[in-house]
Structure 1
Amino acid sequence: MKIVAISGSAANNSSTAAFLYTVRNHFSGQYEVEVFDRLRDFPLFRPEELEKELPELIQEFKKRLIRSDAILICTPEYTHNIPAVLKNALEWITASGELAAKKVLPVTLTPNEPRGEWAMKSLLASLITMKATIVAELPLYKDEMRNENGEIRLNETTRLILEEAFRLF
């Protein structure tokens, strides 16, 4: 099974991307997890751009989504919402429907509870509008997942939850 894992962060060295690479490495024997962490490089969406040849990065993103069996979207929460780079990426694919009927696992990765609730609501609203098949919702807290060196690692609970969520794909 091919899973595209999208980092919704605008940061160059984001913890969402670190988390997704950790997921990819952990599940490499079971799933093909392809991390996409270049949303910050997307041009700003404008509806009139859809009438032109799409930028190469947008074309690449759309192809990856189409070829995937499932999508994992991991996002931080910025000002009680999803980051602008993630919203921008979703706008590039709304009209063309790459997420329609696609199985999606939305994940928020924030420092601690209750952060992430607003971002999840915002992401779910967009995914529902795009007719994605939401298999579960997963709020995660990086303060619970950091090892002694401060690196993001999958703890036992997170591993088990992800295994179950991936089975839903």
Structure 2
Amino acid sequence: MKILAISGSARRNSTNTSMLRAVRAVAPDETEIAIFDGVGGLPVFSPDLEGEFLPAAVRDFIEAIAQSDGVIIASPEYVRSIPGGLKNAIDWLVSGDEIVHKPIALLHASHRGDDMLAGLRTILATITDRFAGDIFLRLPLMKLEPADVLRTVETAENRSRVQAYLQAFSAYCMAGSETA
């Protein structure tokens, strides 16, 4: 199972990126997780740059999505909304086919952020017919340093929760590929 995990944060020491790395570290052997932490490096979306003018960074991002069996998104909440970099990344996907039937699930690193999650759920349910809204995991990681995030995720309880989440998402991805 090949999963692309997208961090919605542009911060260098992002809790969300650290969480995705920790999740990758405890993932079952059959689950390969690639992390995209470059939303801040994508140019601002413009239809004028699509097609033959598509920037290389965007092309690589879209190709990573196309090559994955499913996508996990982890994002902070900024001013009760989706960070601009993540929204921009999603905007680059809407005119292509790579995301339309791609399974997507959410992972969250905070006890808060429900307004952002509600908005993100609406957007994801619009861009793909395979948004797995009921496959969701929230971990208590807010304000932890990257090493502490890893230690927290590696605890027996959280490792078990992460593995159950990944197994549920992998099953969801597989179920869709059998009918495609």
**What's the TM-score, normalizing by structure 1?**
0.86
Structure 1: runs of 5 or more not aligned: none
| Matching of residue 166 in structure 1 with residue 170 in structure 2 | yes
Structure 2: runs of 5 or more not aligned: 174-180
Counterpart in 2 of 1:125?
122
User: CA contact under 8 A between 2:73 and 2:104: conserved in structure 1?
Assistant: yes
**RCO greater where, 1 or 2, for CA within 8 Å and sep 6 or more?**
2
Q: Which amino acid aligns with 2:123?
A: S
Q: More displaced, 133-142 or 36-45?
A: 133-142
More helix by share: 2
User: CA contact under 8 A between 2:15 and 2:143: conserved in structure 1?
Assistant: no
Counterpart in 2 of 1:20?
20
User: CA contact under 8 A between 2:105 and 2:131: conserved in structure 1?
Assistant: yes
Alpha-carbon distance in 2 for matches of 1:72, 1:62 = 14
| Identical-residue share of aligned pairs (%) | 27
**Where do residues 60-139 of structure 1 align in structure 2 (5 Å cutoff)?**
60-110=60-110, 112=111, 115-135=112-132, 136-139=134-137
Q: More displaced, 17-26 or 127-136?
A: 127-136
User: CA contact under 8 A between 1:5 and 1:20: conserved in structure 2?
Assistant: yes
> After the TM superposition, which parts of structure 1 deviate over 4 Å for at least 4 consecutive aligned residues?
144-147
Q: Which amino acid aligns with 1:120?
A: L
User: CA contact under 8 A between 1:77 and 1:108: conserved in structure 2?
Assistant: no
Alpha-carbon distance in 2 for matches of 1:79, 1:141 = 20
Q: Which amino acid aligns with 1:168?
A: Y
Alpha-carbon offset, residue 141 of structure 1: 3.8
Are the structure 2 counterparts of residues 4 and 146 from structure 1 closer, same or farther at C-alpha, using a change threshold of 3 Å? same
Are the structure 2 counterparts of residues 140 and 82 from structure 1 closer, same or farther at C-alpha, using a change threshold of 3 Å? same
Are the structure 2 counterparts of residues 163 and 146 from structure 1 closer, same or farther at C-alpha, using a change threshold of 3 Å? farther
Are the structure 2 counterparts of residues 81 and 90 from structure 1 closer, same or farther at C-alpha, using a change threshold of 3 Å? same
Alpha-carbon distance in 1 for matches of 2:114, 2:23 = 22
**What's the TM-score, normalizing by structure 2?**
0.81
Alpha-carbon offset, residue 104 of structure 1: 0.6
Q: Which amino acid aligns with 1:8?
A: G
User: CA contact under 8 A between 2:19 and 2:149: conserved in structure 1?
Assistant: no
Alpha-carbon offset, residue 140 of structure 1: 1.5
Alpha-carbon distance in 2 for matches of 1:125, 1:105 = 13
Are the structure 2 counterparts of residues 15 and 144 from structure 1 closer, same or farther at C-alpha, using a change threshold of 3 Å? closer
The root-mean-square deviation of aligned C-alpha atoms, in Å, is: 2.3
Alpha-carbon offset, residue 99 of structure 1: 1.1
Counterpart in 1 of 2:178?
none
Count of residue pairs brought into register by the alignment: 165
- Which deviations, in whole Å up to 9, do the C-alpha atoms of 1:1-30 show, x marking residues without a partner? 110000011211101111111111211512
Q: More displaced, 101-110 or 33-42?
A: 101-110
Are the structure 2 counterparts of residues 55 and 74 from structure 1 closer, same or farther at C-alpha, using a change threshold of 3 Å? same
